[in-house]
Amino acid sequence: MYEGIIKDRVARELKEEWECGRKGIGALVRSTAVRLDRKDSHGDMWQYTRRHSLEVAYYSCLMAEEAKAAGLHDAQHLDMRAVFTGGFAHDVGKTFLPLALVAKERGVDFGVCHAFGGFRLSDGERNLLRNEHVSAGLRYVQSFGDWPGRATTRDMVQYHHVMYDGKSRTYPSYPGGIKGWELPLCTRIAKTADFLSAIGQRHYRRHYGREDGVRWLGHRVAHAVALAGQELCPSSVACFITAVYGGDYYRVEAMVRRLGGRADASDPRIVGGYVMAIVKDDSGFAAMTKERDADKLAGSWAEITRCGAGLGAPALYTVSQ
């Protein structure tokens, strides 16, 4: 049912974009911002996705800059404008999907979910949502022509759900075949940024509240560490930690590799227990995440905000959570 609706809508809206003649990276960012700012009679249906997309853009740039500073392979050629755009547009394909499908994923009642079988996604709907929003997003990005760094943006949109170890425990039909260092650095960064934003928005911020930001940041970093080597790239996780807390990249990476991959990622209860053990009992993790490097982080944040503004994206602090 959904496949035909999605393909027809993508074709129609891409034709409209093409006829408008908008090309280039700035046009892509501005058009994505417009799509994520749409409101209708159901309210602000893209509020979560808008905030999430900006967080992924900011986190991706933070990690890319740290990767460059650490001299990681393939980091030097990364264009920050392309990285920001890849993060910001990584979920734009969802705006082409039927609202009922997206609403069911979020568990939000827009008045249409029950007509499609209630709030719980079936396995087929879940795989369709995962695969089709990537396919639609990729076609959308490609419709804006070429620009320096387009391959980076394209890869971030196309591969931001690929597991580092090449396995897909939750979505077995998601196309695989590549893993680890075979994945471009920008895609490993995008996967980590997507995870950190999503786990913070959906779990830790709700559990601890917005006011306890330091605590839930530490817990989601520990969650990323727990999954390093399985779902997430250890190097990308280490880059995020050094971007936020400072410290020597190689010492942090050694800590991530020591702690990562010990819990069965397919069992959320086991992972949750291991995350709490890392936070409470591991002195190395506690020492490396004791205090945020406020000056360094503020400087990076301001630079990323300027980068986004130059492309036509809103600043993160202006977007509600």
Asked whether the predicted pLDDT for residue 280 surpasses 70, the reply is yes
Q: How many domains does the chain have?
A: 1
In this structure, the number of other CB atoms found within 10 A of the CB of residue 205 comes to 17
User: Of 41-45, 189-193, 269-273, 280-284, where does the model show the most confidence?
Assistant: 189-193
* Percentage with pLDDT > 90 across the chain: 47
Answer yes or no: is 317 within a domain. no
Summarize pLDDT for 68-91 with one digit per residue, the tens: 999 998 899 999 999 999 999 999
In this structure, the number of other CB atoms found within 10 A of the CB of residue 110 comes to 16
Answer yes or no: is 278 within a domain. yes
Supply the mean pLDDT for the chain.
Answer: 82
Answer yes or no: is 13 within a domain. yes
DSSP single-letter state for residue 121: P
* pLDDT reported for residue 230: 92
Mark residue 269 as left, alpha or beta (left: phi above 0; alpha: psi -120 to 50; beta: remaining). alpha
Summarize pLDDT for 82-116 with one digit per residue, the tens: 999 999 999 999 888 877 777 766 654 444 333 34
Do 295 and 246 contact (CB within 8 A), yes or no? no
Summarize pLDDT for 10-35 with one digit per residue, the tens: 777 766 666 566 789 999 999 999 98
Lowest mean pLDDT among 5-14, 55-64, 166-175, 191-200: 166-175
* pLDDT reported for residue 173: 37
* pLDDT reported for residue 42: 57
Listed in sequence order, the residues at least 6 apart from 58 whose beta carbon sits closer than 8 Å to its beta carbon are 87, 301, 304, 308, 316
Lowest mean pLDDT among 4-8, 31-35, 61-65: 4-8
Answer yes or no: is 26 within a domain. yes
What distance in Å separates the CA atoms of residue 321 and residue 318, rounded to the nearest whole number?
Answer: 10
CA atoms within 13 A on the CB side of 38: 12
Q: For 196-248, what is the HEC assignment?
A: HHHHHHHHHHHHHCHHHHHHHHHHHHHHHHHHECCCECHHHHHHHHHHHHCCC
Domain span including residue 84: 2-168+179-312
Answer yes or no: is 192 within a domain. yes
Answer yes or no: is 174 within a domain. no
> Which tokens belong to 23?
């090309």
* pLDDT reported for residue 195: 93
Summarize pLDDT for 126-163 with one digit per residue, the tens: 777 777 888 889 989 988 989 989 999 999 999 998 88
Q: Which residues of 131-145 are buried (b: 16+ CB within 10 A; e: fewer)?
A: bbbbbbbbbbbbbbe
Closest CA to 83 of 155, 152, 182: 152
* pLDDT reported for residue 202: 58
Do 23 and 144 contact (CB within 8 A), yes or no? yes
Closest CA to 196 of 38, 305, 87, 306: 87
Torsion sign, CA atoms 62, 183, 264, 287: negative
Domain with 260 in it: what CATH number? 1.10.3210.10
What distance in Å separates the CA atoms of residue 152 and residue 82, rounded to the nearest whole number?
Answer: 6
Summarize pLDDT for 168-177 with one digit per residue, the tens: 654 443 455 6
